[in-house]
Structure formats: C-alpha cells, structure tokens
Amino acid sequence: QKEVEQNSGPLSVPEGAIASLNCTYSDRVSQSFFWYRQYSGKSPELIMSIYSNGDKEDGRFTAQLNKASQYVSLLIRDSQPSDSATYLCAVSYSGNTPLVFGKGTRLSVIA
Amino acid sequence: ETGVTQSPTHLIKTRGQQVTLRCSSQSGHNTVSWYQQALGQGPQFIFQYYREEENGRGNFPPRFSGLQFPNYSSELNVNALELDDSALYLCASSSLGNIQYFGAGTRLSVL
C-alpha cells in the first residue's frame, strides 16, 4: 500500500515569514514528486515538481527532496495571505503513473 | 488555466441513479486520469486512459467505469449512486511520462 503522509495543520505563519511544509512517502521506488496548491472549493494547481535529490527553486518556492529519508518538503518564502490554501504532496512511480496524494496541509498566512 | 475542461461543474443526484461526467483534455495530451476527492481528503485515483484503453485502475468498484474517445476526451460513469459517492471528481490530462494538469472538477452531491 503506497502512502503519503502530511501534517493536516492548520499551519499558521505571519505574513513575510517562511512556511515549511513536509511530506513523507512509503514507496521507496517512487521517482516523481509534486506539490499542488488547492484553494477552498477549487481544483489542485501544480506548484512544483522535483525528481532528483536536493533543492529546486522557483520564485518564492523551494522544493527539497531526500530519497534516502523518503522525505519531500516545500518552503514558501515571504509568505503572503494569498498563499493561504491547502498544499497537497503527490508521489508517483514514474512520469505518468497514478499520483498518490497526501491529505494535504492547510496553511494560513496571517496579515 | 490548464486547458482541461470538465462538465458539468455541479450535479445533484439521488441514491441509485446513474451519472456521467465529462472531460476534455489539454491539446496535445493523450492520457486522462480521474480522481475522486472527498471533503478533507486528498484525491484518490480512480482510473487512467491512454489512447482509448484503460491503463490502470485504483481501488474503486466496477460501477465506476470510463471511456476515452479518439480526440482523447473522456467520460466517467458511475452507476447505482451511493451517498458516499458525494465528492469532487477531478480529471487530469497529460502526455505519457509527463506532469498531470487538473481541470476545475465536478462537484457531485448524492442525496
């Protein structure tokens, strides 16, 4: 049974702070890792994808992957109230195999 | 905008009825995946279609069925609706080996 675990939150951070979101996965052969943002009542929107160990930066977002520890994280720098949403971690064995999602972490950025 | 369109946006059915949900994939994408997202949960994989053939199925009963058409659009059919089928149904399109992009979803309520 492939599992993806996330702290459900809510995670509250003040505006301008760094938000750190974490995810662990059970299937060691997983190859592709994704972070999706989901606003209430909306569908998931892709923020980041990462495939290799290390960090990947895109604007205010940094994804970190550690395959040995089976751990993926997302850092949001200079958090804004508009970042308040549920962040879903998703994992797949290869590029087009089904995504296995965590339950999501609810982030609240306080102005 | 991902270029993935789903219809209808909302639907109300009664227990025992049948429903058909539709998805038009993004131009150039030949793979469609369907997910069910219950309130407060991450999306759960239902099945995937690649070039009109089922290419994987999650842990859903046979009353969940699907089709993919030559233009790569897809349908999800659910027979004998149950109360627990109430959820957001998400369609994601991709090219084989690449990232999945989600449509806006269909919110199904079963009364």
pLDDT digits (tens, 9 = 90+) for A28-73: 888 899 999 999 999 999 999 999 999 999 999 999 999 999 999 9
CB contact under 8 A, A99 and B100: yes
Minimum Cα–Cα distance from B95: chain A residue: A96
| pLDDT confidence band for A111 (50 / 70 / 90) | very high
Within 10 angstroms of residue A53's Cβ, the number of other Cβ atoms is: 11
Task: Encode A24-60 in three state secondary structure.
Answer: EECCCCCCEEEEEEECCCCCCEEEEEECCCEEEEECC
Residues B9-17: what's their mean pLDDT? 98
Q: How far apart, in whole angstroms, are the C-alpha atoms of residue A38 and residue A30? A: 23
Cβ–Cβ < 8 Å for A48, A90: no
- Of residues A75 and A9, more confidence is placed in A75
User: H or E stretch including A94?
Assistant: none
Helix (H, G, I), strand (E, B), or coil: what is residue A105? Answer: strand
CB contact under 8 A, B102 and A45: yes
Cβ–Cβ < 8 Å for A66, A24: no
pLDDT in tens, A70-103: 999 999 999 999 999 999 999 998 766 789 999 9
Nearest to B43 by CA among A61, A43, A5: A43
Q: How far apart, in whole angstroms, are the C-alpha atoms of residue B18 and residue A53? A: 46
CB contact under 8 A, B101 and A46: yes
- Distance (Å) from the C-alpha of residue B64 to the closest C-alpha of chain A? 17
A-chain residues near B40 (CB < 8 A): 103
